[in-house]
A and B are shown apart, each in its own frame.
Chain A
């Protein structure tokens, strides 16, 4: 082999604390190294050209680049050596930035360590062999999980791009939180008027199949070829027959159940269509309150339904969908305000969440759009808003900012003044975060034109006195304590990961942070990708986002799917395990340990053997360390290669 070594300065990143020229010179002593040099920016165009030129001029058959992390530039350099005519696996990288220059300041020690790392890379490279990826076909259908505004946008963009889309929504209608909002900042336009048409588009699009009231049960397969089992929960209504006429709701005698769509501040019937613009507009029976289920007798809805759609004996159903890519858009949930015991949410009826307030403001809400407080139905005059409840609060394990609460609180003060002109709003805030387009202007308008009184400080406690709520807090600008007699207290509850998000992430094999939000592949450069090929993110499942951001991400995820599907065949990664059939004794230990179920048992000349399913194997290498015979080897990371690396290190 004829090996070339390129030691990168990375500007002053590496050169500042590593003598790269000395590293290059030392490399010339390693076996089979015929050429070594240092280079300013190996990843730049001249840097790559230099590598290519050297391969040609010096007849190199393998290349080592000592530079930054392979996570950043391994693909870059692999492509470069490929352009020069080598196999892309005849390349090794030594990380002398993150592992050396960034962590130590001693130039001599750093230089020595860099030499060691290059020596290791050379020994590995000497045992590398060309690997050829195989190709497999792509199923150009996409699944979108979650039908909030982000999921709707992703589904519509994919469908408009000609893809077949399967949309899975856990509630009985799509729309997510946005469907519950009254108006939207910063334009104060009607939420359902802008969302409604999009929801109808979903229903009418010939390319979209909607599974509402459904959840993902399990996911198998890999990019291009996922198999997803979707559990369609029993609705007890045959949706083929239901026309959404609502006759059942009118007659259902069980009317006092907390309405989930109205955030439990209004009642609903046991058979229910959540809201007038619901998509699909179909009825669902809640068996925990329905008299037919609880008491065994009623049957009113079955009697009144003109299309005979009621099915009390319905059961959950599993359907399998084959898709090539998945977009997760499962959104967020609200922080449970009853955990902040000093504010009494959950104990006092007139302490409510911002989302409940949206329902009170909404014309389709439980009060017909009249602001009435839950305790006695009176119109409130003094409304106190408390921001950051369950946000930016370490003591509640919610140190992050929920992003949209500053803005929606400002919106709600404006709407309050519109609804009740002689009302006064007070807002307790920590600081106002409104960096979007027209956002700062909006919060100023709330204060200056609508007279909302902003008080900078935390509220210590909220308690009832007579029919008022006393809100006691600090005004940290005036340096005083304040006490306000409120008729209604609205808590800007922070955003949390949607219920069940970590479980779904595990099914999708994507990472999630300690709060349950899904992790993007790179926070800056790959914001909608995940570390699992073919799985993308949209909206606030990844962290709190407002509507414009969620929609933008929905479209971005769709673009990624369309780009992925622009190829008919995908290449599989050849860095996978292979079984040496002569050595394999068929013990099956690898089958048991593989977390991806990538190994199956086969018969070979009457004997049991293991076989790796190429497209499923993720190259994690667990099987190779399990196999008692050493019969499974991970290509590009064989036992020989790793031992050579260790030996090289021990020599120094």
Chain B
């Protein structure tokens, strides 16, 4: 496997979700998918820009897409669903010539078009493939019961994201199953966690994220695997708030799916970065793996 794809870590990838970034890089390297950093990438125009001005937001995204084009590449992968939405939306909006003209006005280097954005999950599924993933496993995640949580925007809106089923996606389930984990059917895999309401209305997040943890526990999951920095934060960092608000007592680890892959691929601990999570998955993980032995 020598295919290369541009890599767009997104702002959170270098900050709040560093462990998602490092585990993604390590996993892709181990699977032979070469991620090439985009030189001088900038914000994709997500949350703040797109709520204010669609043209500005699209211009921020288009700038990054054009950088990919300058690298001679046709596609970029990003771990963050929110970045993905914005990159894809920009591409979609720029199909309309008048809109694109406004975007190009804001850019030093007009966007030539034709650069596709995909999630890391999609890149792993389509460019590496389940068979290759499976044969790379060193420590199968036997005995680990995982609920896969995709969040509400990874596959939506379906016409825009054009990957997997928008109500019952299976890509992450398939990958973790290939890693040897027991994926439990998780009915709320595309439900909203409350997203950025964590700041103005923590009560809403406590309710929505609480429900996710509640159902994950009721279907017997040991942990919830996620693919979005914001979902991860709501479910993991806010678990205390959730417990206080609902009188519950969850201690559910919420690792990124790439971290679990990294374990199965025997990747070094510092790249996995379990220490960065609030609820440490390691005790549950080692217990499950030990029982399976």
Please report A residues at the B interface, Cβ cutoff 8 Å: 340-342, 344, 347, 461, 463-466
Known: A341-B168, A347-B168, A463-B215. 17 other contacts (CB 8 A): A340-B167, A341-B165, A341-B166, A341-B167, A342-B167, A342-B168, A344-B168, A347-B185, A461-B167, A461-B187, A461-B191, A463-B187, A463-B188, A464-B187, A465-B187, A465-B215, A466-B218
Cβ of A461: which chain B residues have Cβ within 8 Å of it?
167, 187, 191
Interface secondary structure of A, over-half rule: mixed
Q: Please, what's the 1-or-0 string for B63-80, where 1 marks a CB less than 8 Å from any CB in chain A?
A: 000000000000000000
Smallest CB–CB gap between B137 and chain A, Å? 27
Cβ of A466: which chain B residues have Cβ within 8 Å of it?
218
Instruction: Assess whether B218 is in contact with A344, with CB atoms less than 8 Å apart.
Output: no
Q: Please, what's the 1-or-0 string for B204-241, where 1 marks a CB less than 8 Å from any CB in chain A?
A: 00000000000100100000000000000000000000
> Which of B165, B187, B191, B215 has most A Cβ within 10 Å?
B187
Q: Give Cα distance in the complex from A3 to B156, angstroms.
A: 68
Cβ of B166: which chain A residues have Cβ within 8 Å of it?
341
Cβ of B165: which chain A residues have Cβ within 8 Å of it?
341
Instruction: Assess whether A465 is in contact with B218, with CB atoms less than 8 Å apart.
Output: yes
Q: Please, what's the 1-or-0 string for B172-201, where 1 marks a CB less than 8 Å from any CB in chain A?
A: 000000000000010110010000000000
Q: Give Cα distance in the complex from A463 to B165, angstroms.
A: 16
Q: For residue B165, which residue of chain A has the nearest CB?
A: A341
Q: Give Cα distance in the complex from A465 to B185, angstroms.
A: 11
Cβ of B168: which chain A residues have Cβ within 8 Å of it?
341-342, 344, 347
Q: Give Cα distance in the complex from A154 to B79, angstroms.
A: 62
Q: Give Cα distance in the complex from A37 to B165, angstroms.
A: 66
20 contacts between A and B (CB under 8 A): A340-B167, A341-B165, A341-B166, A341-B167, A341-B168, A342-B167, A342-B168, A344-B168, A344-B187, A347-B168, A347-B185, A461-B167, A461-B187, A461-B191, A463-B187, A463-B188, A463-B215, A464-B187, A465-B215, A465-B218
Smallest CB–CB gap between B174 and chain A, Å? 15
Interface size class of B (residues with CB under 8 A): 10 to 19
Smallest CB–CB gap between B191 and chain A, Å? 8
Q: For residue B169, which residue of chain A has the nearest CB?
A: A341
Q: For residue B187, which residue of chain A has the nearest CB?
A: A463
Smallest CB–CB gap between A485 and chain B, Å? 13
Please report B residues at the A interface, Cβ cutoff 8 Å: 165-168, 185, 187-188, 191, 215, 218
Q: For residue A464, which residue of chain B has the nearest CB?
A: B187
> Which of B167, B188, B218 has most A Cβ within 10 Å?
B167
Cβ of B191: which chain A residues have Cβ within 8 Å of it?
461
Q: For residue B158, which residue of chain A has the nearest CB?
A: A395
Q: Give Cα distance in the complex from A515 to B187, angstroms.
A: 32
Smallest CB–CB gap between B165 and chain A, Å? 5
Cβ of A344: which chain B residues have Cβ within 8 Å of it?
168, 187
Q: Give Cα distance in the complex from A340 to B166, angstroms.
A: 10
Q: Give Cα distance in the complex from A464 to B165, angstroms.
A: 19
Q: For residue A470, which residue of chain B has the nearest CB?
A: B187
Q: Give Cα distance in the complex from A465 to B213, angstroms.
A: 12
Cβ of A463: which chain B residues have Cβ within 8 Å of it?
187-188, 215
Smallest CB–CB gap between A597 and chain B, Å? 45
Q: Give Cα distance in the complex from A463 to B191, angstroms.
A: 11
Smallest CB–CB gap between A539 and chain B, Å? 34
Q: For residue A395, which residue of chain B has the nearest CB?
A: B158
Smallest CB–CB gap between A281 and chain B, Å? 42
Please provide the 6 A-B residue pairs with the shortest distance between their CB atoms, ordered closest to farther: A463-B187, A341-B167, A341-B168, A342-B167, A341-B165, A464-B187
Q: Give Cα distance in the complex from A341 to B185, angstroms.
A: 13
Q: Give Cα distance in the complex from A466 to B165, angstroms.
A: 25
Smallest CB–CB gap between A459 and chain B, Å? 12
Q: Give Cα distance in the complex from A347 to B187, angstroms.
A: 10
Cβ of B167: which chain A residues have Cβ within 8 Å of it?
340-342, 461
Cβ of B187: which chain A residues have Cβ within 8 Å of it?
344, 461, 463-465
Q: Give Cα distance in the complex from A464 to B187, angstroms.
A: 7
Q: Give Cα distance in the complex from A529 to B168, angstroms.
A: 44
Q: Give Cα distance in the complex from A395 to B228, angstroms.
A: 27
Q: Give Cα distance in the complex from A340 to B165, angstroms.
A: 10
Q: Give Cα distance in the complex from A342 to B190, angstroms.
A: 10
Smallest CB–CB gap between B277 and chain A, Å? 26
Smallest CB–CB gap between B161 and chain A, Å? 15
Cβ of B185: which chain A residues have Cβ within 8 Å of it?
347
Q: For residue A344, which residue of chain B has the nearest CB?
A: B187
Q: Give Cα distance in the complex from A461 to B191, angstroms.
A: 10
Q: Give Cα distance in the complex from A526 to B144, angstroms.
A: 65
Q: For residue B166, which residue of chain A has the nearest CB?
A: A341
Cβ of B188: which chain A residues have Cβ within 8 Å of it?
463
Smallest CB–CB gap between B87 and chain A, Å? 24
Smallest CB–CB gap between B216 and chain A, Å? 11
Q: Give Cα distance in the complex from A448 to B191, angstroms.
A: 36
Q: Give Cα distance in the complex from A464 to B166, angstroms.
A: 18
Q: Give Cα distance in the complex from A464 to B216, angstroms.
A: 11
Smallest CB–CB gap between B83 and chain A, Å? 25
Q: Give Cα distance in the complex from A347 to B170, angstroms.
A: 13
Q: For residue B185, which residue of chain A has the nearest CB?
A: A347
Q: For residue A466, which residue of chain B has the nearest CB?
A: B218
Q: Give Cα distance in the complex from A344 to B185, angstroms.
A: 11
Smallest CB–CB gap between A88 and chain B, Å? 55
Smallest CB–CB gap between A344 and chain B, Å? 7
Q: Give Cα distance in the complex from A466 to B220, angstroms.
A: 11
Cβ of A465: which chain B residues have Cβ within 8 Å of it?
187, 215, 218
